[in-house]
Amino acid sequence: MREYIPCLDNVEAIRRLKSTERGERFERHCPEKGKGLNCLVPAPKGYRPPIPWPRSRDEVWFNNVPHTRLVEDKGGQNWISRKGKDKFKFPGGGTQFIHGADQYLNQISKMVPDITFGHHIRVVLDVGCGVASFGAYLMSRNVITMSVAPKDVHENQIQFALERGVPAMAAAFATRRLLYPSQAFDLIHCSRCRINWTRDDGILLLEVNRMLRAGGYFAWAAQPVYKHEEALEEQWEACTELHIRFSVLSEMLNLTTSLCWNLVKKEGYIAIWQKPLDNSCYLSREAGTSPPLCDPDDDPDNVWYVDLKACISRLPENGYGANVAPWPARLQIPPDRLQSIQIDSYIARKELFTAESKYWNEIVDSYVRALHWKKFQLRNVLDMRASFGGFAAAIIENQLDAWVLNVVPISGPNTLPVIYDRGLIGVMHDWCEPFDTYPRTYDFLHAAGLFSIERKRCNMSTIMLEMDRILRPGGRVYIRDSLDVMDELEDIAKAMGWRPTLRDTSEGPHASYRILTCDKRHG
Residue 468, pLDDT score: 98
Strands 442-448 and 471-482, bridge-based pairing? parallel
Of the chain, the end-to-end C-alpha distance in Å amounts to 15
Measured CA to CA, the distance from residue 92 to residue 78 in angstroms comes to: 7
pLDDT surpassing 50 at residue 246: no
DSSP state of 312: B
Least confident of 161-175, 235-249, 425-439: 235-249
Average pLDDT over residues 393-400: 97
Least confident of 113-122, 161-170, 196-205, 368-377: 368-377
Residue 81, pLDDT score: 76
Neighbours of 319 (CB within 10 A): 12
Q: Residues of the chain with pLDDT > 90: what percent?
A: 77
Contact call for residues 470 and 518 (beta carbons, < 8 A): no
Contact call for residues 437 and 5 (beta carbons, < 8 A): yes
Measured CA to CA, the distance from residue 281 to residue 312 in angstroms comes to: 12
Residue 250, pLDDT score: 85
Residue 448 has phi, psi (to 5 degrees) of -110, 115
Residue 305, pLDDT score: 98
Topology of the domain covering 329-520: Rossmann fold (3.40.50)
CATH superfamily of 93-283: Vaccinia Virus protein VP39 (3.40.50.150)
Average pLDDT over residues 229-253: 57
For residue range 27-44, list pLDDT tens digits in order.
999 999 878 778 999 999
Average pLDDT over residues 422-433: 98
pLDDT surpassing 80 at residue 493: yes
56 membership: H or E segment, kind and range: none
Q: Who wins on pLDDT, 248 or 487?
A: 487
pLDDT surpassing 90 at residue 228: no
DSSP state of 34: T
Helix or strand or coil: residue 470? Answer: helix
For residue range 261-274, list pLDDT tens digits in order.
999 999 988 999 99
Amino acid at 90: F
Average pLDDT over residues 332-337: 97
Strands 144-149 and 185-191, bridge-based pairing? unpaired
416 burial (CB, 10 Å; 0-12 / 13-18 / 19+) is buried
Residue 225, pLDDT score: 42
Based on DSSP, count helices (H) and strands (E) in the chain, helices before strands: 15, 17
Q: Do domains 93-283 and 329-520 have the same CATH topology?
A: yes
pLDDT surpassing 90 at residue 66: no
Contact call for residues 341 and 414 (beta carbons, < 8 A): yes
Q: Where does the pLDDT of residue 71 fall: very low under 50, low under 70, confident under 90, or very high at 90 and above? A: low
Helices 349-370 and 390-397, packing angle to 10 deg: 50
Return mean pLDDT, the chain. 91
Average pLDDT over residues 145-167: 89
HEC profile of 364-380: HHHHHHHCCHHHCCCCE
- Nearest Cα neighbor of 44 from 67, 66, 69, 68 is 66
Average pLDDT over residues 54-58: 95
For residue range 104-119, list pLDDT tens digits in order.
999 999 999 999 999 9
Q: Where does the pLDDT of residue 167 fall: very low under 50, low under 70, confident under 90, or very high at 90 and above? A: very high
429 membership: H or E segment, kind and range: strand 425-429
pLDDT surpassing 50 at residue 502: yes
For residue range 337-373, list pLDDT tens digits in order.
999 998 877 679 999 999 999 999 999 999 999 889 9
Residue 347, pLDDT score: 72
Contact call for residues 426 and 407 (beta carbons, < 8 A): yes
CA distances from 401 to 18, 84, 166 (A): 46, 28, 12
Residue 164, pLDDT score: 97
Residue 230, pLDDT score: 47
Contact call for residues 477 and 520 (beta carbons, < 8 A): yes
Q: Determine if the peptide bond prior to 291 is cis (ω within 30°).
A: yes
Measured CA to CA, the distance from residue 120 to residue 116 in angstroms comes to: 6
Domains of the chain: which residue ranges?
93-283, 329-520
Q: Where does the pLDDT of residue 312 fall: very low under 50, low under 70, confident under 90, or very high at 90 and above? A: very high
DSSP calls for 151-219: TTSSTTHHHHHHHTT--EEE---SSB--SS-TT-EEEEEEES----TTHHHHHHHHHHHHHEEEEEEEE
pLDDT surpassing 60 at residue 148: yes
Residue 262, pLDDT score: 98
CA angle 394, 405, 422 (to 5 degrees): 55
- List % helix, strand, coil for the chain (3-state, nearest 5): 30, 20, 50
Rg of the chain on CA atoms, in Å: 23
What pTM was computed for the model?
Answer: 0.94
Residue 443, pLDDT score: 98
Helix or strand or coil: residue 332? Answer: coil
Measured CA to CA, the distance from residue 229 to residue 412 in angstroms comes to: 49
Q: Where does the pLDDT of residue 14 fall: very low under 50, low under 70, confident under 90, or very high at 90 and above? A: very high
Average pLDDT over residues 508-514: 88
Q: Residues of the chain with pLDDT > 70: what percent?
A: 91
Neighbours of 340 (CB within 10 A): 16
CA distances from 121 to 92, 107, 249, 403 (A): 21, 15, 26, 17
Contact call for residues 465 and 29 (beta carbons, < 8 A): no
* Cβ-based neighbours of 400, under 8 Å, separated by 6 or more: 364, 368, 373, 374, 378
Amino acid at 257: T
Neighbours of 365 (CB within 10 A): 14
Strands 212-221 and 168-170, bridge-based pairing? unpaired
Residue 242, pLDDT score: 39
Measured CA to CA, the distance from residue 353 to residue 350 in angstroms comes to: 5
CA distances from 100 to 116, 375, 441, 484 (A): 19, 32, 26, 53
Q: Where does the pLDDT of residue 141 fall: very low under 50, low under 70, confident under 90, or very high at 90 and above? A: very high
Contact call for residues 41 and 417 (beta carbons, < 8 A): no
Amino acid at 347: I
- Nearest Cα neighbor of 404 from 188, 165, 187 is 165
Measured CA to CA, the distance from residue 176 to residue 195 in angstroms comes to: 15
Residue 153, pLDDT score: 54
pLDDT surpassing 90 at residue 229: no
Residue 227, pLDDT score: 35
Measured CA to CA, the distance from residue 485 to residue 10 in angstroms comes to: 31
Residue 244, pLDDT score: 40
